Amino acid sequence: MTRFTAHLVTVLALLAPVVAHADYYLISPYEIDLGELELEHNGDSVFDNRPGQTRAASYTTEFGTGLTPWWHSELEFGFDRAPGTAQPTLLSQLVTENMFQLTEPGEALVDLGFYIEYGQSLTRGINAASNEVTAGLVAGKNIGHTQHLLNLLFSRQLGPNQTSQGTYVTYAWQSRWVIWEPLSPAFEVYGGPGIMGAIPRLSQQQLLAGPVGVGALKLHDLGLGNGGKIKYEVGWLFGATDATPRNVLRWRLELELPF
């Protein structure tokens, strides 16, 4: 491992405690990473002066790899900071994530995967929160120089300290124009209609959309070894309803190392 790679691994680990585990990123049915160690950091920060939104933020630090040619697994540490000016940043969840590729890329009309995660709450006392399970469908489609991703996920709280009893629905979409590997433009939409069977009117749902830059840099091209990549995403999301943060900065940094 080069000195640069070692420093980047350290940065990824240290970024987590700085600031809901990160809610704004898409799961891809294409990223299995068999034979690679993946170190990933996701984050989002709210820019909204309203009392119920101001300074809310989340981070994750994740470690993953492909266990088979069709199964990717990760272990995630989630950090949350609730809205407010004097809220602490808490190590909130330990999460196990698994994505199973259901179709070979390009063989079906749409490339499909099944995603499931379990989050074990690590908070106590006044900050105690419930455990949570999330599962659903992830889909992808390559059309010419564009790639399109869709996530449709269902979450349910478990154990003590539940704040809701139903199944919560979320969806996410990304369309990317793949024009240059180091940087390609994309557009994303994130929505949270609410609890199944009690979905409110659109103005009371979570809905954000905005531009994102997506890129990857090969370590070899940077003179930092013969294999591996640095991937990144950074975007600005705009709230489309009163129930949604007005502005969210979201980012993702991933280091892939072959072994």
Distance CA 42, CA 88 (A): 19
Mean pLDDT, the chain, whole residue set: 91
Q: Region 90-118: what's the mean pLDDT?
A: 97
Query: In the predicted model, what is the mean pLDDT of residues 116-137?
Result: 95
* Percent of the chain residues past pLDDT 70, beyond the cut: 92
- This prediction has a pTM of 0.89
**Confidence label for 163 from pLDDT (cuts 50, 70 and 90):** confident
Confidence at 2, pLDDT banded by 50, 70, 90: low
Task: Determine phi and psi for 17, rounding to 5 degrees.
Answer: -70, -15
- Domains of the chain, CATH where assigned: 3-254 (2.40.160.40)
Banded model confidence at residue 226, pLDDT cuts 50, 70, 90: confident
Which is more confident, 108 or 86? 108
pLDDT digits (tens, 9 = 90+) for 56-86: 999 999 999 999 999 999 999 999 999 988 8
- Residue from 118, 128, 38 nearest 80 by CA: 128
pLDDT at 186: 98
**CA-to-CA distance for 19 and 24, rounded, in angstroms?**
15
Q: In 3-state terms, what secondary structure has residue 52? A: coil
Residue 243 phi, psi dihedral angles, 5° rounding: -85, -5
For the segment 150-175, the average pLDDT, to the nearest whole number, is 95
Which stretch, 144-153, 159-168, 219-228, has highest mean pLDDT? 144-153
pLDDT tier, 22 (very low <50, low <70, confident <90, very high otherwise): low
**Is 70 exceeded by the pLDDT of residue 254?**
yes
pLDDT exceeds 80 at position 222 = yes
122-125 LR contacts (CB < 8 Å, sep 24+): 122/91, 122/92, 122/93, 122/94, 123/90, 123/91, 123/92
What per-residue confidence (pLDDT) applies to 52?
78
Only one residue has tokens 């106590």, namely 124
Q: Region of 197 please: left (phi>0), alpha (psi -120 to 50) or beta.
A: left
pLDDT above 90: residue 21: no
Q: What share of the chain has pLDDT > 90, as a percent?
A: 82
Residue 209 in this model has a pLDDT that exceeds 70: yes
Distance CA 219, CA 66 (A): 20
